[in-house]
Structure 1
Amino acid sequence: MNKYEFSLRFDVAPCALSMDEIDDRLFENGCDDALVRHNRRQEILLDFNRESSSAVEAFRVAYEQIKTALPQARLLEAKPDYVGPTDIACVFDLSRQRIQKILQTRASGLRALTSVGNTQVFRLSHVIDEFSKLGTLHVKEPVRETAIAAMQMNRMNDLD
């Protein structure tokens, strides 16, 4: 069993519940291993550190627990999937400047999905794969597995 760190962001406006009611329902339905953050736009972000046989299974179980607790909630995003240079730097434990240089000079097979202002946005699983081809930048397999599972969940969510 590996530990997987990931986040799920939901729109909870249709649930018409208070923050305390949301927290209580999530806790009662097995999300006691998640840090729940609320924002003013009636969204919640659940940060998980979950032990599971696979990242896909960790995401699936967490999603089902949330939907059981909050049936009207709508998944907005699974993380880590979309990342910028700062996020990539955290994953690889390098400076943002070093990541920028690698992206500009060595990661020729990597293309940004989009740019937000001056910041390029990538899929973390693609970054991990491209950086591993360079031969010196590697992450532990659970990190790669989590990035792939998040990407798959976001793709399935986009089809709904």
Structure 2
Amino acid sequence: MNEYDFTLKFNLEDSQADPEDFIERLYAGGCDDALIGVGNKGYVALNFIREASSAYQAISSAINDVKRVVPAATLIEASPDFVGLTDAAKILGYTQQNIRNLLIKSDSKSPIPVYEGTDSIWHLAEILIWLREVQTYSIDDALLDIAQTNMNINIAMSWQKIAPDIQESIKALAV
């Protein structure tokens, strides 16, 4: 069994719902391994450190626990996934300058950002895979597992937003 550290952010069906109303119920409903953030009405974020045999098992059981307690909650994001240079450096324990030099100034083909701008954004999993396979860095298997699983969940949530009747034509454009 590994420990997986991840955060799940949910939208509550009622935008005026006070997330504090759910804290005790979430804790009693299986989320006793999470820190629960309730900063804004209509939203709740849970930072889990959950033991499981895989990241998928950890994340899926956490999502099921939340949805059992708050059935109308909608998953917004699973993280870590989308990262900028600062986030990637913090997660990996490197300096931002080191990560910048690796990603931006590397001779080898580095991961393509999801968003390229003043503050570019990458999928953490793609950075980790690249660091492991191309740069030969030692990357924690549990961190890579959680990043890949979260990336897949977030992509699947985005895919569901595409109208079913045009999904195939959109998929053909993305190849």
The alignment's TM-score, normalised by the length of structure 1, stands at 0.91
The answer to which structure, 1 or 2, has the higher relative contact order (CA under 8 A, 6+ apart) is 1
Whether 1:108 and 2:109 are equivalent positions in the alignment is yes
Whether 1:62 and 2:62 are equivalent positions in the alignment is yes
Change (3 A) 1:41 1:101: farther
Change (3 A) 1:8 1:58: same
- Measured against aligned partners, the alpha-carbon deviations of 1:110-129 in whole angstroms (never above 9, x if no partner) come to 111103x5111000110001
1:7 is aligned to 7
SS in 2 for 1:5: strand
Could you tell me whether the CA contact under 8 Å between 1:91 and 1:139 is conserved in 2? no
Gapped regions of structure 2 (runs ≥ 5):
161-175
Change (3 A) 1:102 1:41: farther
Instruction: Select the structure that is richer in strand.
Output: 1
1:122 is aligned to 122
- Measured against aligned partners, the alpha-carbon deviations of 1:118-155 in whole angstroms (never above 9, x if no partner) come to 11100011000111123342221000000011011112
2:93 is aligned to 93
Distance 1:48 1:59 in 2: 9
- Note the 1:9-158 alignment, pairs <5 A: 9-14=9-14, 17-106=17-106, 108-115=109-116, 118-158=118-158
Code of the residue aligned with 2:11 in structure 1: it is D
Distance 2:60 2:15 in 1: 21
Q: Report the CA distance between 1:83 and its aligned residue.
A: 0.6
Code of the residue aligned with 2:96 in structure 1: it is R
Greater alpha carbon shift after TM alignment, 147-156 vs 73-82: 147-156
Q: Report the CA distance between 1:34 and its aligned residue.
A: 0.3
Could you tell me whether the CA contact under 8 Å between 2:19 and 2:42 is conserved in 1? no
Could you tell me whether the CA contact under 8 Å between 1:113 and 1:120 is conserved in 2? yes
Gapped regions of structure 1 (runs ≥ 5):
none
- Measured against aligned partners, the alpha-carbon deviations of 1:50-106 in whole angstroms (never above 9, x if no partner) come to 100100000100000000111111110000111111111012211011111111112
Q: Report the CA distance between 1:15 and its aligned residue.
A: 7.5
Could you tell me whether the CA contact under 8 Å between 1:15 and 1:73 is conserved in 2? no
1:159 is aligned to 159
- Measured against aligned partners, the alpha-carbon deviations of 1:2-49 in whole angstroms (never above 9, x if no partner) come to 000000000124276433321012112100000011122521110000
What CA RMSD, in Å, does the superposition of the two structures yield over aligned residues? 1.7
Max Rg structure = 2
